[in-house]
Amino acid sequence: MVTLHFRDLLYSTIFLVTCGIVSPHYLSAKTDQNKLTQTTKAMLHFRPEGMKAGDVIPFFWKGSYHLFYLKGPDWGHIVSQDLLHWQELPKALEKGDDPLGPDWESIWTGSIVEHNGTFYLFYTGKNSSDPLGDQKVMQARSTDLIHWKKHPEYTFYADGKIYWNKTINGAIDDKQIYHHQAFRDPHVIWNQEEKVWWLALHSVAADGSSPNVGLYTSSDLTHWTPHTPLIIYPNSVSGDCPDVFALKGLWNVNCADYHYMQVNTTGIHNPEIRPYDCGDLRVAKTMYDGRRRILIGWIGDYKDSSDNGTYEWGGDLSMPRELYADNTGQLCQRPVKEVLKLFSETTFQKRNVNLDTPISAPQTCMLTATLNPNGTQSTATIRFRESPDRNDSYHLTIDFNTREITIGSKYKSFNRTCDFDSQKPLQVQIFLDGSIVECFIDGAYCFTMRIYDLTDGNISFSSTSPELTVEKVSIKTIR
């Protein structure tokens, strides 16, 4: 059993070195990451100039946080030493130029690992005109994380025995929507217990009956053997872009729509699916820096930059969060310490705040407050970017009776039930930055949402019970 907005300034390595933005030592295989000079303004949400940021592929190496991400049909690349000051590097990969080749249409999501001084980048080659298959696993290699060489000779397609391959098995349009007609999003990790490399990906059974998190293994990162899927799930589940990691004795599989599954072996059917976020966050992935697991995803745009628009693929990257498991094994999120330190200028601070009292707040700010139900089963609401006449706002609502938390506007809302102790005070952190709000409840339950229409406004608190008190309130902004 197999148990921020930048301009695209940097187009060549020579230009990077000439401008003094990246040390020439950084470009060698023996990079001294501590010498990387940070030159940009701190930012919470990166977005490439004039484009959307898509799926993130994070990778930590020797003191630097690398974010590879889908940039149009290619892979972009930014790097930071503190998760706040980002530098844009040349594209890591570009799509192929052969109309019948494996990656002519686009390069999709993947992952990166290091082994014996070489970095291995696994990605999805996408081309519906490829006679061997629309989606396949491809590979590139590097010794410095900047210069990548594709190795098409190591490309592999679904085997057709365990995993569906249209060329071998025929069409399955009557069984699966295109989303699940997949062999993509390879995520490679080292299985320490079995001393073998795992490659998990979004795939479907050879007979088209069920989508799954497929599983291949390798001893050399080059030759891959298919096995029984890690997880088999129903058609109603979107298990794409798996992010797989071991935590507290379980394999955690995070999927594209902020849900996760946990298993202790392979071949599991329909495990429990739970959320680790709620709202507009998509395709978040993680990296481990030796102390903590850091999660970053993208927050999608809405059409016409309107709260009433339709949700679109791609947008800004989220602020970095720490993903951890609580004492029950549930995945939780909290802001990384670097973000908390960034908000260093206090604009409001008070030990107790009266209900229904507007408080002025900067456009970019961090609100911290403690809601004390004082034995009641009340419903508390925090309104932010509230209009002067108090007729419009965004809101975060906490029901101490049902433990349901809702974030929303007059056009939309997102909610989830959370496992907090409804008899104890609850700490709330709300981060407002441009058209994005990210909320953390008790440093565990996260909510993410686009907010376009109201660009500024006050903050206020209300409750269905006058016994609820609002304590330890502070508003901070970036100095």
Domain ranges of the chain: 5-286+299-317, 345-477
Cβ atoms of 475 and 459 within 8 Å: the answer is yes
- Give DSSP secondary structure letters for 326-376: -TTS-EEEEE-HHHHHH--EEEEEEEEE-TT--B---SSEEEEEEEE-TT-
User: Lowest-pLDDT range, 17-21, 117-121, 123-127?
Assistant: 17-21
* pLDDT band per the 50, 70, 90 thresholds, residue 350: very high
Percent of the chain exceeding pLDDT 90 equals: 91
Q: What mean pLDDT do residues 150-173 have?
A: 98
pLDDT reading at 109 higher than 50? yes
DSSP 455: -
Tokens, residue 331:
């995945």
Give pLDDT tens digits for 304-349: 999 999 999 999 999 999 999 999 999 999 999 999 999 999 999 9
Give pLDDT tens digits for 381-406: 999 999 999 999 999 999 999 999 99
Angle in degrees, CA 235, 241, 276, rounded to 5: 85
Higher pLDDT, 12 or 379: 379
CA 174 to CA 220: how far, in whole Å? 38
- Determine the pLDDT at residue 41: 85
- Determine the pLDDT at residue 15: 30
Cβ atoms of 331 and 325 within 8 Å: the answer is yes
| Residue whose C-alpha is closest to residue 322's, from 285, 293, 288 | 293
| Residue whose C-alpha is closest to residue 387's, from 379, 375, 395 | 395
Cβ atoms of 317 and 424 within 8 Å: the answer is no
**Sign of CA pseudo-dihedral 71, 80, 428, 330:** positive
Q: How far apart are the first and last CA of the chain?
A: 55
* 453: exposed, middle or buried (Cβ count in 10 Å: 0-12, 13-18, 19+): middle
- Determine the pLDDT at residue 238: 87
Task: Indicate the helix (H) or strand (E) that contains 13.
Answer: helix 13-18
User: Lowest-pLDDT range, 32-46, 256-270, 436-450?
Assistant: 32-46
pLDDT reading at 36 higher than 60? no
Length of the chain: 479
Q: What is the mean pLDDT of the chain?
A: 92
Cβ atoms of 1 and 229 within 8 Å: the answer is no
Quickly name the fold that domain 5-286+299-317 has.
Tachylectin-2; Chain A (2.115.10)
DSSP SS3 for 262: strand
Angle in degrees, CA 44, 46, 49, rounded to 5: 145
* pLDDT band per the 50, 70, 90 thresholds, residue 25: very low
CATH number of 345-477: 2.60.120.560
* pLDDT band per the 50, 70, 90 thresholds, residue 9: very low
Higher pLDDT, 41 or 234: 234
pLDDT reading at 24 higher than 50? no
Other beta carbons within 10 angstroms of residue 370's beta carbon come to 15
- Determine the pLDDT at residue 35: 45
* pLDDT band per the 50, 70, 90 thresholds, residue 14: very low
pLDDT reading at 26 higher than 70? no
Give pLDDT tens digits for 417-474: 999 999 999 999 999 999 999 999 999 999 999 999 999 999 999 999 999 999 999 9
Q: Which residues lie across from 372 on neighbouring strands? A: 469
Cβ atoms of 218 and 197 within 8 Å: the answer is yes
Cβ atoms of 182 and 240 within 8 Å: the answer is yes
Task: Indicate the helix (H) or strand (E) that contains 168.
Answer: helix 166-169
Q: Which residues lie across from 75 on neighbouring strands? A: 70, 93
DSSP SS3 for 146: coil
| Residue whose C-alpha is closest to residue 297's, from 319, 274, 275 | 319
CA 388 to CA 278: how far, in whole Å? 28
Percent of the chain exceeding pLDDT 70 equals: 92
User: pTM for the whole thing?
Assistant: 0.91
